[in-house]
Amino acid sequence: MRGWSRAERAAGRRVAFVPTMGALHEGHLSLMREGLRRGASLAVSIYVNPAQFGPSEDLEEYPRTLQDDLAKCEALGADAVFVPTDQTIYPEGFQTYVNVERVTGGLCGGARPGHFRGVATVVAKLLNIVEPDVAIFGEKDYQQLVAIRTMARDLDMPVEVAGCPTVREPDGLAMSSRNKYLAPSERRAALSLYRSLGVAEEMVAAGETRAAKVLKKVSQLIESEGARIDYAEIVHAETLEKLDKIKRPALLALAAFVGSTRLIDNRLFA
């Protein structure tokens, strides 16, 4: 992988990189298209990273569709696909992990202890292996994007970290590989996250600055549809520190369980 990347750059071609866990959907493909727009050569990785799953999470059940994923990469025009094994990423004796501290303290970092330690470590390894000029991530996983930008800046990694807008289903549900878990009735309940973001945006546009009032309305709407809130917070969009008074740029971040499926979504007030 590294040899291919270095050969591309030696030939004067810019390398763009999209790391994924597979089960590719239109959200991933949008990142890949952005990669093609930004770089002359596109590399994609497919790896379900065990280090970012908690002991009671869905590592074993996480969808794995490698042949379909490879076909999608080829059809879209990716130049290289890196599919490492666990032994490649975490060889025997592996003991070095990356912690990005303050920006991972709340939201998914608070709800999923150790998650971002696993994310930062695998992304650091992938960036060291692929050596891209630009790496592209989705804004649906907003905290992940902030954490990786912070890591790249703090560790002087020679890579641009770019974010792309959330891609949604026609009904508004944010695209996620975990959407495959939803039964039809759960799918309807899951739309409460998207609707609640719209309600919050209307409140903020009308001049509401009290985070607690917005969050109360959001929580009521989601829970009325039968979903269970994991967290609903309004934070500063860059530091991810919790806000009592909404000041732009701010982020409304949500995580909720619909049945046993955990979904996340967000809305930026820029």
Catalytic residue among 25, 28, 115, 236: 28
Amino acid at 86: D
Burial class (CB in 10 A: 0-12, 13-18, 19+), 123: buried
* CA-only gyration radius of the chain, Å: 19
DSSP the chain: -HHHHHHHHHTT--EEEEEE-S---HHHHHHHHHHHHH-SEEEEEE---GGGS-TTSSTTTS---HHHHHHHHHHHT-SEEE---HHHHS-TT--------GGGSSHHHHHSTTHHHHHHHHHHHHHHHH--SEEEEEGGGHHHHHHHHHHHHHTT-S-EEEEEPPPB-TTSPBP-GGGGG--HHHHHHHHHHHHHHHHHHHHHHTT--BHHHHHHHHHHHHHHTT-EEEEEEEEETTT--B-SB--SSEEEEEEEEETTEEEEEEEEE-
Which tokens hold the place of 228?
Answer: 């269970």
Residue 28 annotated to the active site: yes
Residues that are catalytic: 28
